[in-house]
């Protein structure tokens, strides 16, 4: 199976679906990670918080931990739009790699880049037989994430944890709360699914 996971920023995929991706790798599937932006950003005073070089280096380390091939886009953070340029880039990637399963952001996320990449990837992936949406943050939204597909990541939780920890520039900034939140989330998903750890997704399309 050919699997594509798309994320707006370095760390989104690791938080949202890296356990499932690691499981695909263990099963012998070909896994590609596409990150659309350089993930560089500054605070309100213009102070650089994370450089693009640092974000990419951490993303490369995380992809290696997962066992996936990493492809990097060049869009600046917070400037990702649902436009033809983005659509064409994704369509080309999907067609060239003959993608069977696509993981993307939740379409009702409130983060600008996340929303637009979700729209673009669902549009570009209209001929992909299986599309799943993931959540990669704890932001409140007026939408309702419908967790209706679960992946047992009990055997790949440690890989997910290591992939998250690869992003030390962000992990340090949030004081370790990332790992606490997503570990508890995986345990809660596991309780629902009847396993130790699980990731939850909302199905866009699933053709058997």
* pLDDT at residue 114 is higher than 90: yes
| Confidence (pLDDT) at 43 | 67
Mean pLDDT value across the chain: 93
How far is 16 from 8, CA to CA, in rounded Å? 12
Q: Would you say residue 119 has pLDDT above 90?
A: yes
Q: Where are the domains of the chain?
A: 2-206
More confident residue, 172 or 164: 164
Q: Which residue has the higher pLDDT, 164 or 45?
A: 164
Residue 184's pLDDT is 96
Homologous superfamily (CATH) for 2-206: LmbE-like (3.40.50.10320)
What pLDDT digit, counting tens, does each position of 75-90 carry? 998 889 999 999 999 9
pLDDT band at 44 (very low <50, low <70, confident <90, very high): low
User: Who contacts 140 (Cβ-Cβ below 8 Å, separation ≥6)?
Assistant: 110
The values of phi and psi at residue 32, to 5°, are -115, 135
Predicted structure pTM score: 0.95
- 182-194: per-residue pLDDT in tens? 999 999 999 999 9
CA gap 26, 36 in Å, rounded:
25
Nearest to residue 76, comparing CAs of 29, 110, 127, 35?
35
pLDDT at 198: 98
- Check pLDDT > 90 for residue 46: no
Provide the token pair at 5: 């996971």
């Amino acid at each position: 199976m050919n699997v594509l996971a798309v994320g707006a920023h370095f760390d989104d995929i690791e938080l949202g679906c890296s356990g499932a991706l690691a499981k695909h790798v263990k099963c012998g599937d070909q896994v590609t990670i596409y990150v659309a932006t350089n993930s560089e950003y500054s605070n309100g005073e213009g102070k650089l918080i994370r450089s693009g070089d640092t974000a990419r280096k951490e993303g490369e380390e995380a992809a290696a931990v997962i066992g996936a091939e990493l492809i990097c886009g060049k869009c600046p953070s917070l400037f990702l739009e649902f436009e033809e340029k983005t659509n064409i880039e994704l369509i080309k990637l999907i067609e060239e790699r003959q993608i069977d399963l696509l993981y993307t952001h939740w379409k009702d996320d409130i983060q600008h880049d996340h929303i637009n990449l979700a729209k673009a990837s669902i549009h570009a992936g209209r001929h992909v037989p299986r599309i799943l949406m993931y959540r990669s943050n704890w932001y409140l939204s007026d939408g309702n994430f419908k967790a209706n597909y679960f992946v047992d990541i009990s055997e790949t939780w440690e890989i997910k944890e290591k992939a998250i920890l690869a992003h030390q520039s962000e992990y340090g900034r949030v004081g370790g709360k990332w790992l606490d939140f997503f570990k508890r989330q995986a345990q809660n998903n596991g309780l629902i699914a009847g396993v130790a750890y699980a990731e939850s997704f909302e199905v866009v399309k699933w053709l058997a």
